[in-house]
């Protein structure tokens, strides 16, 4: 099927992964085009540098040249003019995960990192362990590791390391993306309820992870968090080797003697002590998954530690965006109560005496709903002051499904913290500018742009001098 393809068109090319794969195909000699709405830096400049033309809106005309293959992004739905033409004219089409499987993963040793939390950090750290030790892996990561400065690379190496997302593949393929990635090794960091728009409950998420587990070959390895009760029922399989990692004694790879410092963490496994320039228990678990996988693939403890020594973290994961007038502004991608809680715990380790602000934008399909009404209030336990921005598109949800912001404020205030619900980024900046003092740490939690709030905060603090 794929041997006769010369030209490829990407519908929704502005996505990080779509743009990276489009550029890789162009490097392989394919004619590549794409369309999207509102493509902005860094992807717009990245595509321009790769000399890929981006059509600035979706239109039937964009497919008038009849490309040999159309790649349909997972944000594209029926009614999109290009999706309609593809179906109407019976053009050859596929999803991005299918394209990855056929063009880049097939025949490689695929290491797939999954789980509700920690995927991006774990994939980035694992990739750096392989890179640091000269293995030159291909990779595709849903974030930007600071050691690489890009989220994807495609090489001739036998290794392919990929962040495996449980979100669905495309409007025509509702399976999770990760079922396309041909795992030799599957890492499952944890399993919690998320993505309320496509999963009904935890059982539905367990089903999709079972599908991934069913694809691990007998000469591969399933590496799973042995401390996670939601994962436990999935691990009693005999078709492939299973190894549990975690902090409990039941794990084959167990971390113990953890020492949590303000800028680094130490933990031991039998016969070796690891040192990590990341903070908190969540990163011990991420690193332990990496140790388990790297050792399975033949790397030594010393080789792994050498990479840990030089790992520079990931953009938007507890990333310090600036320090102005003694106030530190931190950017974090956290948008699930567990991720928010663990990040704030780590920040509390880092800044034990300082006032920590948590600014949260509830914009995902899960956090806009009341599924985590109670858990969300508890997630802010390690913050001193909490500001929540107005919940986007609340009117699109049934009243009985909506997160209740007033109740959230009451619950947070009931725990002895200041809490405010403000309309937007500008209102939040005006409030924090007035109230924050030197030494404070302001952490912004959002998986979107949040109205450029980080730069606005830094400018506002600078203007106070």
Helix (H) / strand (E) element for 375: namely helix 373-379
Pairwise CA distance, residues 60 & 78, whole Å: 13
Give the residue from 341, 343, 322 showing the smallest Cα distance to 462. 322
Give the residue from 144, 135, 79 showing the smallest Cα distance to 331. 144
pLDDT of residue 1: 56
What is the secondary structure of 316-347 as a DSSP string?
A: TSSEEEEEETTEEEEEE---SHHHHHHHHHHH
User: Interior CA angle at 404 toward 398 and 410, to 5°?
Assistant: 170
User: Beta-carbon neighbour count of residue 206 at 10 Å?
Assistant: 15
CB 436, CB 385: distance < 8 Å = no
Residue 23 corresponds to which tokens in the numbers above? 């550029």
CB 157, CB 136: distance < 8 Å = yes
For the beta sheet containing 319-324, the strands, ordered from the edge strand earlier in sequence to the opposite edge, are 319-324, 327-332, 441-445, 356-360, 385-389, 418-422
Q: What is the DSSP letter of 395?
A: G
Residue 137: is the preceding peptide bond cis (ω within 30°)?
A: no
SS3 (DSSP) at 401: helix
Contacts of 86 (CB under 8 A, 6+ apart): 11, 63, 70, 72, 93
pTM of the predicted model over 0.85:
yes
pLDDT of residue 318: 86
What is the secondary structure of 278-317 as a DSSP string?
A: S-SHHHHHHHHHHHHHHHHTT--HHHHHHHHHT---BTTS
Pairwise CA distance, residues 188 & 169, whole Å: 19
pLDDT of residue 366: 80
Give the residue from 302, 265, 306 showing the smallest Cα distance to 283. 265
β-pairing verdict for 272-276 and 265-269: antiparallel
Pairwise CA distance, residues 214 & 183, whole Å: 10
pLDDT of residue 395: 83
Q: For the chain, 465 residues long, give each residue's pLDDT as a single digit of tens.
A: 567 899 999 999 998 889 989 999 998 899 999 999 988 777 888 899 999 989 999 999 999 999 999 999 999 999 999 999 999 999 999 999 999 999 999 999 999 999 988 899 999 999 999 999 999 999 999 888 999 988 899 999 999 999 999 989 999 999 999 999 999 999 999 898 777 777 889 999 999 999 999 999 999 999 999 999 999 999 999 999 999 999 999 999 999 999 998 889 999 999 899 999 998 899 999 999 999 999 999 999 999 999 999 999 888 888 999 999 999 999 998 888 988 998 999 999 999 999 999 999 998 888 888 888 999 999 999 999 999 998 877 788 888 888 898 999 999 999 999 999 999 999 999 999 999 999 999 999 998 888 899 999 999 999 976
């Amino acid at each position: 099927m794929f041997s006769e393809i010369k030209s490829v068109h990407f519908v929704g090319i502005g996505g990080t992964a779509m743009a990276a794969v489009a550029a890789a195909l162009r490097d392989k000699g394919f004619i590549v085009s794409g369309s999207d709405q509102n493509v902005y830096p860094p992807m717009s400049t990245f595509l321009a540098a790769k000399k890929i033309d981006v059509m600035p809106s979706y239109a039937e005309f964009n497919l008038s040249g009849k490309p040999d293959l159309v790649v349909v992004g997972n944000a594209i739905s029926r009614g999109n003019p290009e999706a309609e033409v593809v179906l109407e004219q019976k053009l050859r089409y596929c999803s991005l995960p299918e394209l990855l499987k056929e063009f880049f993963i097939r025949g490689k040793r695929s290491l797939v990192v999954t789980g509700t939390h920690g995927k991006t950090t774990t994939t980035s750290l694992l990739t750096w362990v392989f890179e640091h030790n000269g293995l030159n892996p291909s990779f595709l990561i849903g974030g930007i590791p600071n050691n690489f400065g890009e989220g994807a690379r495609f090489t001739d190496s036998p290794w392919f390391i990929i962040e495996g997302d449980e979100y669905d593949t495309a409007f025509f393929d509702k399976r999770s993306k990760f079922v396309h990635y041909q795992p030799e090794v599957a890492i499952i960091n944890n399993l919690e309820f998320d993505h309320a728009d496509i999963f009904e409950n935890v059982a539905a998420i367990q089903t999709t992870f079972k599908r991934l587990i069913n694809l691990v070959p007998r000469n591969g390895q399933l590496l799973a968090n042995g401390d996670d009760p939601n994962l436990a029922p999935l691990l009693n399989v005999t078709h492939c080797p299973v190894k549990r990692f975690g902090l409990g004694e039941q794990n084959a790879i167990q971390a113990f003697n953890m020492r949590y410092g303000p800028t680094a963490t130490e933990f031991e496994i039998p016969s070796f002590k690891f040192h990590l320039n990341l903070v908190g228990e969540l990163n011990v678990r991420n690193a332990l998954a990496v140790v388990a996988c790297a050792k399975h693939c033949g790397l030594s403890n010393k080789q792994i530690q050498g990479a840990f020594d030089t790992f520079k973290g990931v953009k938007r994961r507890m990333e310090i965006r600036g320090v102005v007038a003694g106030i530190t502004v931190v950017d974090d991608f956290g948008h699930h109560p567990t991720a928010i809680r663990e990040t704030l715990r780590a920040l509390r380790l880092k800044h034990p005496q300082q006032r920590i602000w948590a600014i949260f934008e509830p914009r995902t399909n899960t956090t806009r709903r009341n599924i985590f009404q109670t858990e969300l209030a508890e997630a802010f336990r390690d913050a001193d002051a909490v500001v929540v921005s107005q919940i986007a598109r609340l009117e699109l949800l049934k009243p009985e499904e909506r997160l209740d912001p007033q109740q959230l404020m009451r619950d947070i205030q009931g725990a002895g913290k200041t809490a405010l619900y403000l309309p937007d980024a500008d209102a939040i900046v005006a409030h924090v500018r007035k109230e924050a003092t030197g030494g404070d740490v302001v952490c912004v939690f959002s998986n979107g742009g949040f109205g450029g709030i980080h730069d606005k905060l830094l400018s506002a603090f600078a203007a106070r001098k």
